[in-house]
Structure 1
Amino acid sequence: MNKFMPWGALTLLSCLFLAVFLLLPIFKVILASLQNADGALTLEGFKIFFTEGDYLQGLFNSLFLAAAVTVVTVLIGVPLAYVTVYYDFPFKSLLSILPITVVIIPELITTQSWLLVFGYNGFVTQMLLELGIRAPRFYGWTGLIFVMAITYYVHVYMASLAALRSFDVQLEEAAQSLGRSPISARIRTMVPLMAPAILSSALVVFTLVLGNFSIAIILGPSVPLLSVMTYNSFLSEVGLNPLMQSALATISIVLVGLILFVQKRFVGKSRFEMRQGRSMKALPIKGAWGVAAYVAVLALLAVTLLPLGLVLAGSITDSTGPVMHWGHFTLKHFANVADYGVEIIVNSISYAFSATVLGVVFGTTASYLIIKKKNALTEALDFMVMLPMAIFGTVLGIALSQTFNAGLIPLTGTPIIMVLALTLRRLPFSVRNASANLFNIPDSIEEAAISLGTSPMKSFRKVVAPLMAPGITSAAVLMWAMTMAELASTLLLYHPSQETLPIKIYNLIDSDLMAQASAYGVVMIVLILTPIFLVTKFTKVELFK
């Protein structure tokens, strides 16, 4: 019994929590996809999916979009990483902030900002109309691929950057000494090292695009996509038998599960490690190709960071309904936020704060149990905390709504289910960040404290937790930023009195009120940036190293 307490008991409680609030909802969704209105087993939902053209078209469109965006992100991210590692040029340090953009610029804001440029009332669209030129339609495939590629290429860039920085240039020199040309030697030695990182990050991008909701629902009204069709099925089946929403959700789970299986089974095993190697010295950029590469890097960096400036410009631009009066400035949109948006801001802060606290406490505990206190249940716990990575936000929202709409734990319509959705959705990021430096903490430190009479729990609080502080701080900031910007799961769960900033921004964009949406967008970005600024200013934690 002493061996079971306290870590075995904590592992059991953690597993029970996830079993009730994560596994059970997923199981109920899968079960609902196999039941008709009378509760009898049926495959009617899957039959409809595979026989009706709209659903199959949605599946095909989703796979094609994911493939197209993945290819574009690889074509952007890999060359950018190569130029960053092997060449020295002015403003190179600015590239280090690219990972931060993934956190501080929500997908919703990125989408909104480009609509301010190329949307029906965007300033480029209006400028071309004044010249008698009808701008190409940004909604649909063009906007979807462009915005998603700009949003997700950073994942490929970071993975490629890490692989290139670990490359041992002595391998290339050895290949040249055996008669290979410089180009051939570099390709033959570098490609095997980079391939696993590129493939792994490409699969991440593929999965993110498949499950994307924020960009898809705004830019793809004319393109049937699986995530949006799942949401629409949910709306059409409210109060009815949730057959199609459950079938679509189940297909989404299976689809992402297959991708993760491929990643773990094939890509995850193809890894190379370099030890005590010699990195290549960065060379100054010169020549026509060098100048072209430098200009392309700066242009890409500008395009990545442009949404921040565009949203700010839109928030102070005068408007009449959906019509933006570019060049005419006003603060009335912020006055509107002050008059009508205080409750929305309070909702966002309270939900995100609650989810951050819950996610960090649970994530820290789970990571410690999984890494330092292995037992018969920790493998199951590790699987469950990572499971939300395989679930679309819309699917999680449907699962929670179906499970806790009534019964012993009626949570639908309460703030609790909003916090629960936010916590579960981003829990994997909290666990992975909290565990970042656990492997470097020797067990002997904790054992020494226990040998001096300190209880296991107290030794964790006094000895291990302070050493985990950088990872815990990073997890807290990441949880805050991501939960503040979450839309997909909460849009299916919120009550009108529980509207959050992402939901409000989406509703305004859907009504084509871009200026008002921009004002709320600026508020959301400020709320996301504030803790990041405070943490980096007053602590020594390198959040995005």
Structure 2
Amino acid sequence: MNRFFPWVLLTVLALVFLLIFVGYPILGVLARSFIGEGGGLSLDGFATFMTRGRYLEALMNTMILGVVVTCTCTIVGVFLAFVVARYEVPFSNVIMLLPLSVLIIPELISAQSWVMVFGNNGLVTNLFDAIGLEFPRFYGWFGLVYVMTLTFYVHIFLAALAALRGVDHSLEEAGQSLGTAPLPTYLRVVFPTIMPAVLSSGLIVFTLVVGNFAISIALAQRVALLSVMTYQSFISELGGNPTMQSTLATVSILLVAAVLFIQKRYLAKRNYQMVAGRTPPRIRLRGWKSIVVSGLAGLIILLSLLPALVVLVGSFTVSRGPVLYWGQFTLEHYQRIWTFNMPVIVNSLKFASLATVLGVTFATLVSYLLIKKRTALSPAVDYLLLLPLTISGTVLGIALAQGFNSGPVVLTGTAMLMVLAMMVRRLPFGVRNASSNLHNISNSLEEASVSLGVPPMRSVRNVVLPLMAPGIAAAAILTWVTTVAELSASVVIYQAGQETLPIQIFRLISSDLMARASAFGVINMIIILVPVFVGIKVMKVRLFSS
């Protein structure tokens, strides 16, 4: 009994933590959506949602945007994965930097950079004005689809690339030996085989688009979206309706939960496995085919990495209010940060560090409990860990702010709530990476240590943790870079003096001060890039192995 007692106790403690800081806030949001202004049970919030055209428009726009961006990401991601897997292209090493670009260039900075290029005072817009032409309006549907596609297609690219590399080449050879041309063979044999992986990552893209706040708030403007409307309802000082805040959040939760349910049901019926096989050889294209394929792939890569360059140049560009004088350079923006805004950088480092340490510690413990020491409570822990995936960061921030605004534990307005929001939001990804190699660690190693008289906890520390080190390191790096870039949850709960780099960038973009925002963006990317570089080059961490 003593042998199993610590693991049962730790599972109970993990479950209690998740119930308090994940289950309780989300359940509170759901419950408050059924409470009327008089305090009793009511469906007034949902009735208002269904009868006010603006709310229904936001729901419809959100679903349309999710579907359209998922389709465009699928086209771009599958095309690039197919090129990398099947053809020899001159910049294949650069292509593998694309997953890192998603980490290094946060969503808000990506949106900011494209506004600096195509916005009302953008570089390209001003060039068109100089020659007497009117550049099409970037804000709205076009800008949303364009920026979100370049931001999220990497998820499908990675899944499709892994699936294509696992396809048995003999299947294609068999099809072509029967007289079928290569293109029909790909459509009938290869693509159905990789479809589960593409669909799984595509539905992840859909949930990311539905819950996206950073790009939506920067580019939506006249396009009503649920994420933006939920945020605006929460911060409204005049006529703010707590019931509608919770109702909008509930609708967002139900929408994403429905998509995840469909994903699970569909993939359960379509699971293809390759028993054995060989990877298809890569072909060297020649002539016009090489030019077209390499040109399209190169354009995708260039557009993916361009935001970092735009923000870097913008941070040194002279500006007067919203107007940037391209070609004139200055250090003024960095000098202002050094003189007036160092606390913002300190806040980002402090909050992200605490969230990373706490999150990775908890993720390591929970991953071990779920895989090696399962109990009757493990399914409940597993389910609660998935809840942050079903809600957007904005909804999570609202849930935490409302849940801990009163009662025995009051955290609203404190720095601890900022840290908790960052930690809870990234817990599912931390657990996934921390457990990436745990399945390959034999139980006999730990059992041998215990049989020699070493206590269970010490056996885990001396035997299991060193073997888990690669997964833990990957979890720490990914948790760090995503918490440093966190905006959607923190922007609804921060108080004066708690501003982080993403919040400051968001405020400057809202004020059209793009050059100053760029300087903060460069600092944000440097803070993200340093641990990624150290992890990959020095510690040899494989960030995307899981």
Residue of structure 2 in register with 1:306 after alignment: 306
By how many angstroms is 1:239 displaced?
Answer: 9.6
Does the CA-based 8 Å contact 2:233-2:240 persist in structure 1?
A: no
**Most deviating of 283-292 and 394-403:** 283-292
Q: Deviations over 1:439-490 (max 9, x none)?
A: 1101111111111111111111111011001100000000000000010100
Residue of structure 2 in register with 1:119 after alignment: 119
Alpha-carbon distance between aligned partners in 1 of 2:144 and 2:221, rounded to the nearest angstrom: 10
Partner AA of 2:379 in structure 1: E
Residue of structure 2 in register with 1:479 after alignment: 479
* Aligned: 1:249 with 2:278: no
Residue of structure 2 in register with 1:469 after alignment: 469
* Aligned: 1:219 with 2:223: no
Q: Deviations over 1:364-418 (max 9, x none)?
A: 1111111111110111111111210101111101100111112111101110000
By how many angstroms is 1:185 displaced?
Answer: 2.9
By how many angstroms is 1:61 displaced?
Answer: 0.5
Alpha-carbon distance between aligned partners in 2 of 1:104 and 1:513, rounded to the nearest angstrom: 22
Alpha-carbon distance between aligned partners in 2 of 1:391 and 1:89, rounded to the nearest angstrom: 39
Residue of structure 2 in register with 1:262 after alignment: 262
Question: Secondary structure of the residue that 2:354 maps to in structure 1?
Answer: helix
Alpha-carbon distance between aligned partners in 2 of 1:81 and 1:177, rounded to the nearest angstrom: 25
Alpha-carbon distance between aligned partners in 2 of 1:340 and 1:509, rounded to the nearest angstrom: 18
Alpha-carbon distance between aligned partners in 1 of 2:297 and 2:140, rounded to the nearest angstrom: 27
Residue of structure 1 in register with 2:282 after alignment: 282
Residue of structure 1 in register with 2:105 after alignment: 105
Does the CA-based 8 Å contact 2:233-2:241 persist in structure 1?
A: no
By how many angstroms is 1:538 displaced?
Answer: 2.1
Does the CA-based 8 Å contact 2:477-2:532 persist in structure 1?
A: yes
**Which residues of 2 match residues 19-30 of structure 1 at below 5 A?**
19-30=19-30
Residue of structure 2 in register with 1:71 after alignment: 71
Partner AA of 1:458 in structure 2: R
Question: Secondary structure of the residue that 2:31 maps to in structure 1?
Answer: helix
Does the CA-based 8 Å contact 1:74-1:156 persist in structure 2?
A: yes
Question: Secondary structure of the residue that 1:318 maps to in structure 2?
Answer: strand
Residue of structure 1 in register with 2:325 after alignment: 325
By how many angstroms is 1:99 displaced?
Answer: 1.1
Question: Secondary structure of the residue that 1:497 maps to in structure 2?
Answer: coil
TM normalised by structure 1 equals: 0.98
Alpha-carbon distance between aligned partners in 1 of 2:310 and 2:185, rounded to the nearest angstrom: 44
Does the CA-based 8 Å contact 1:36-1:241 persist in structure 2?
A: no
Question: Secondary structure of the residue that 1:494 maps to in structure 2?
Answer: coil
Alpha-carbon distance between aligned partners in 1 of 2:105 and 2:492, rounded to the nearest angstrom: 22
Q: Alpha carbons of 1:24 and 1:308: their partners in 2 closer, same or farther (altered >3 Å)?
A: same
Unaligned runs of 5+ in 2: none
Does the CA-based 8 Å contact 2:344-2:499 persist in structure 1?
A: yes
Alpha-carbon distance between aligned partners in 2 of 1:203 and 1:269, rounded to the nearest angstrom: 16
Does the CA-based 8 Å contact 1:237-1:245 persist in structure 2?
A: no
* Aligned: 1:360 with 2:364: no
Residue of structure 2 in register with 1:497 after alignment: 497
Residue of structure 2 in register with 1:452 after alignment: 452
Residue of structure 2 in register with 1:398 after alignment: 398
Partner AA of 1:153 in structure 2: Y
Does the CA-based 8 Å contact 2:169-2:280 persist in structure 1?
A: yes
Question: Secondary structure of the residue that 2:34 maps to in structure 1?
Answer: coil
Question: Secondary structure of the residue that 1:370 maps to in structure 2?
Answer: helix
Partner AA of 2:145 in structure 1: I
TM normalised by structure 2 equals: 0.98
By how many angstroms is 1:183 displaced?
Answer: 3.1
Partner AA of 1:544 in structure 2: F
Residue of structure 2 in register with 1:186 after alignment: 186
Residue of structure 2 in register with 1:315 after alignment: 315
Q: Alpha carbons of 1:172 and 1:85: their partners in 2 closer, same or farther (altered >3 Å)?
A: same
Alpha-carbon distance between aligned partners in 1 of 2:83 and 2:253, rounded to the nearest angstrom: 38
Residue of structure 1 in register with 2:229 after alignment: 229
Residue of structure 1 in register with 2:378 after alignment: 378
Alpha-carbon distance between aligned partners in 2 of 1:173 and 1:124, rounded to the nearest angstrom: 48
By how many angstroms is 1:182 displaced?
Answer: 3.5
Question: Secondary structure of the residue that 2:143 maps to in structure 1?
Answer: helix
Question: Secondary structure of the residue that 2:96 maps to in structure 1?
Answer: helix
Does the CA-based 8 Å contact 2:3-2:456 persist in structure 1?
A: no
RMSD across aligned positions (CA): 1.3
Question: Secondary structure of the residue that 1:319 maps to in structure 2?
Answer: strand
Unaligned runs of 5+ in 1: none
Alpha-carbon distance between aligned partners in 1 of 2:351 and 2:184, rounded to the nearest angstrom: 55
By how many angstroms is 1:334 displaced?
Answer: 0.4
Q: Deviations over 1:299-325 (max 9, x none)?
A: 110110011100000000000111101
Alpha-carbon distance between aligned partners in 1 of 2:442 and 2:306, rounded to the nearest angstrom: 44
Q: Deviations over 1:172-198 (max 9, x none)?
A: 122233443333333322122111111
Report % sequence identity.
51
Does the CA-based 8 Å contact 2:318-2:324 persist in structure 1?
A: yes
Alpha-carbon distance between aligned partners in 2 of 1:267 and 1:196, rounded to the nearest angstrom: 6
Partner AA of 2:59 in structure 1: L
Alpha-carbon distance between aligned partners in 2 of 1:237 and 1:262, rounded to the nearest angstrom: 38
Q: Deviations over 1:241-264 (max 9, x none)?
A: 510000011111111111000111
Residue of structure 2 in register with 1:44 after alignment: 44
Residue of structure 1 in register with 2:148 after alignment: 148
Residue of structure 2 in register with 1:440 after alignment: 440
Alpha-carbon distance between aligned partners in 2 of 1:136 and 1:178, rounded to the nearest angstrom: 50
Alpha-carbon distance between aligned partners in 2 of 1:179 and 1:509, rounded to the nearest angstrom: 58
**Most deviating of 354-363 and 283-292:** 283-292
Q: Deviations over 1:42-78 (max 9, x none)?
A: 0000000011100000000001111111111111111
Q: Alpha carbons of 1:27 and 1:205: their partners in 2 closer, same or farther (altered >3 Å)?
A: same
Question: Secondary structure of the residue that 2:97 maps to in structure 1?
Answer: helix
Alpha-carbon distance between aligned partners in 1 of 2:336 and 2:400, rounded to the nearest angstrom: 33
Q: Deviations over 1:211-267 (max 9, x none)?
A: 000000110011100000001111126896510000011111111111000111112
Q: Alpha carbons of 1:150 and 1:47: their partners in 2 closer, same or farther (altered >3 Å)?
A: same
Residue of structure 2 in register with 1:18 after alignment: 18
The alignment covers a number of residue pairs equal to 545
Alpha-carbon distance between aligned partners in 2 of 1:188 and 1:71, rounded to the nearest angstrom: 20
Residue of structure 1 in register with 2:90 after alignment: 90
Alpha-carbon distance between aligned partners in 2 of 1:143 and 1:241, rounded to the nearest angstrom: 31
Does the CA-based 8 Å contact 2:234-2:240 persist in structure 1?
A: no
Alpha-carbon distance between aligned partners in 2 of 1:312 and 1:240, rounded to the nearest angstrom: 39
Question: Secondary structure of the residue that 1:498 maps to in structure 2?
Answer: coil
Partner AA of 1:476 in structure 2: A
Alpha-carbon distance between aligned partners in 1 of 2:341 and 2:275, rounded to the nearest angstrom: 55
Alpha-carbon distance between aligned partners in 2 of 1:16 and 1:357, rounded to the nearest angstrom: 19
Does the CA-based 8 Å contact 1:315-1:522 persist in structure 2?
A: yes
